[in-house]
């Protein structure tokens, strides 16, 4: 039954919608946590340490954090695979291009695929930069995320990569939230306007919230 659901277009869209909403919930929590950087190094570093002790003593050190990571990896892979397969299925269904020369979909809709690729590459860079320290500039310091964040956003390329990715994220959320609502049956004539407004507000708040961190470093508010 699971295979039958997965092989169907509706099934893939449902997987894409649910995995997208899981990642959206994480992004909201992640953004709120990121903004703690404005309260100083001690508070931000303490918050990072707290993430590793959540659930103790029932959960061992970092177990909750690793559980969250596993769920996120599953969500990202499921989202990417379903998106790719739906894209291939769409191309096979209409091998010839549309007759209309003027695109009728929104800018966010037309850039969903490229936005997804940009975000995928960004996730890899972000992990190598601030989690493993592999590509980090200025000397990666284990257990000192505040200093590592300041190092990253003290470089022009760190700011460019991050801000471009966050703009792509905003567009992705704006269209993705709306699509997920339709897929899961939440859309209707009476709720469509509210759903569109919610999608726009979420996209705007998340974009501003994430971009506020590099802006804070660039302006010297966070140093």
pTM: predicted TM-score of the whole model, two decimal places: 0.88
- The answer to whether 207 touches 167, Cβ cutoff 8 Å, is yes
Mean pLDDT computed over every residue of the chain: 89
Planar angle of CA 46, 211, 19, nearest 5 degrees? 80
Mean pLDDT, range 152-171, rounded to an integer? 95
d(CA 131, CA 126): 7
pLDDT tens sequence across 170-194:
999 998 998 898 888 887 777 888 8
Mean pLDDT, range 166-172, rounded to an integer? 94
pLDDT value for 96: 57
3-state DSSP assignment of residue 147: helix
Name all contacts of 22-28 with Cβ < 8 Å and 24+ positions apart.
22/71, 22/72, 22/75, 23/72, 23/75, 23/76, 23/79, 24/173, 24/176, 24/177, 24/202, 26/68, 26/72, 27/169, 27/173, 27/206, 28/206
Q: How far is CA 168 from the centre of its chain?
A: 9
Peptide bond into 57 cis (omega under 30): yes
Spatial neighbors of 199 by CB under 8 A, at least 6 apart, are 173, 174, 175, 177, 178, 181
Token pair for residue 102? 């003027």
| 107: pLDDT strictly greater than 70 | no
pLDDT value for 33: 96
pLDDT tens sequence across 75-102:
999 999 998 888 888 777 765 555 555 5
């Amino acid at each position: 039954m699971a295979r039958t659901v997965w092989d169907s277009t509706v099934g893939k869209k449902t997987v894409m919608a649910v995995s997208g909403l899981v990642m959206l919930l994480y992004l909201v929590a992640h953004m709120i946590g990121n903004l703690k950087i404005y309260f100083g190094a001690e508070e931000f570093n303490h918050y990072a340490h707290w993430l590793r002790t959540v659930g103790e003593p029932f959960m061992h050190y970092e177990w909750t954090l690793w559980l969250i990571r596993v769920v996120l990896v599953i969500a990202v892979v499921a989202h990417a695979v379903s998106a790719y397969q739906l894209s291939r299925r769409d191309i096979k269904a209409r091998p010839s291009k549309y007759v209309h020369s003027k695109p009728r979909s929104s800018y966010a809709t037309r850039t969903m695929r490229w936005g997804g690729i940009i975000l995928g590459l960004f996730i890899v860079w972000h992990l190598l930069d601030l989690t493993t320290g592999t590509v980090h500039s200025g000397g990666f310091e284990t257990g000192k995320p505040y200093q590592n964040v300041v190092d990253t956003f003290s470089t022009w390329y760190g700011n460019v990569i991050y801000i471009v990715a966050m703009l792509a994220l905003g567009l992705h959320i704006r269209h993705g939230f709306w699509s997920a609502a339709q897929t899961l049956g939440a859309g209707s004539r009476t709720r469509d306007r509210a759903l569109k407004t919610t999608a726009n507000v979420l996209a705007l708040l998340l974009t501003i919230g994430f971009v506020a961190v590099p802006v804070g470093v660039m302006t010297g508010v966070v140093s």
